[in-house]
Amino acid sequence: MQPERKPITNFYTPPEKIKNDRVLIEGEESFHLAKVLKFNKGEIIPVVDGLGNKYKVVISNISKKCVEGDILTCVRKENEPLVNITLAPALSAGTKMDSVIEKCTEIGVNAFIPILTDKSLVKLEKTNKAQNKTSRWRKVAIAAMKQSLRSYLPKIHEIMEFEQILQKTPEYDLTLIASLEPQSKSVREVFNSQNKYKNILLLVGPEGGFTPSELEKAREYKTVSVSLGPRRLRTETASIILVSQVLTLCGEMS
C-alpha cells in the first residue's frame, strides 16, 4: 500500500456503486483519477457517496474507464452542518442559478428548490428544458460538494411555483423570507440561545424582491420576513448572504 496523498478534493461515486466493502468509480471521475491526477494501484483516496459517508479507499484496479477499490474506513457526515437548510431561490436567467447552487453547496446547504415568482425573469414550464436544467444543477452540486470536502450531496428539487413552496412550510421548524419591507427583522433578531432549529427553509426572491401580495401570502403561512440590509441585492448575492448569516448564528461557521 502506497502512502496517502494529501487530498485536493473528495471523489464521488453513487451509493449503488458501493457494495460489500468495495467501491466502483466510473465515467469522468475515473478518467480524472487515472489520466489527469495519475493515481496508481495501491494508493489511498477519499471517496464520498453523497449520503453523508466518506470512505478511505485503497485502489485495487485503475483505468480511465473505471477505478475499483477496497474500503479501509468510513466516517459519517464529516464537514456537514447539524442544521439542515433548504434554499428556495427565485429562478434566474442564464447560469446565475449555477452560481447559487455552487456557492451555497460549498457553504453547507442541504437542498435547493428553485421557485417561480411574480417578478421572475424566467418562466419555465415543467418540460424537458426544466429537467435539463435540474440535471446540470446536480452536476454543479456534485463538483461543489467534492471541492468543499463535504460528504452530503444536496438534493435539487423540481422547479416550483411560489404557492407550492409555501405549502411545504409546515415541514420546517422555521421559514425565513428575504424582504425589502422596512419592518423586516434582522436575521440576528430571529435567533437566540433558546432557539434550536433543525430544519430551516430560506426563501429568496428575484432582484426586485417579492411582491406585496406574495409577502402577504407568506405571512399566512407564518414565515418570518428578514432584511439583508438597505441595498438591493441580486438573487445569487442575497442567497449567499442569507445562508451564511443563518449558519453563523447556528454556530456552523465559527
Helix axes 96-107, 128-147, angle to 10 degrees: 40
Inform me whether the pLDDT recorded for 130 exceeds 70.
no
Distance (Å, whole) CA 245 – CA 183: 19
Q: Which of 28-42, 128-142, 240-254 has the lowest mean pLDDT?
A: 128-142
Domains by residue range for the chain, with CATH: 11-76 (2.40.240.20), 84-249 (3.40.1280.10)
DSSP for 20-81 reads TTEEEEEHHHHHIIIIIS---TT-EEEEE-BBSEEEEEEEEEE-SSEEEEEEEEEEESTT--
Look up residue 109 and give its three cell numbers: 446547504
Q: How many residues does the chain have?
A: 254
Does residue 24 register a pLDDT over 80? yes
| pLDDT of the residue at 112 | 98
How many percent of the chain have pLDDT more than 90? 74
64 or 125, higher pLDDT: 64
Closest C-alpha to 85, from 136, 163, 152? 152
Quote the pLDDT of residue 37.
92
pLDDT of residue 127: 46
For residue 195, what is its C-alpha cell? 432557539
CB of 233 closer than 8 Å to CB of 224? no
Q: How many helices (H) and strands (E) does the chain have?
A: 7, 15
How much is the average pLDDT of 138-162?
95
The stretch 167-179 carries a mean pLDDT of 96
pLDDT at 140: 96
What's the pTM?
A: 0.91
Instruction: Tell me which of 124 and 211 has the higher pLDDT.
Output: 211
150: left (phi over 0), alpha (psi -120 to 50) or beta: beta
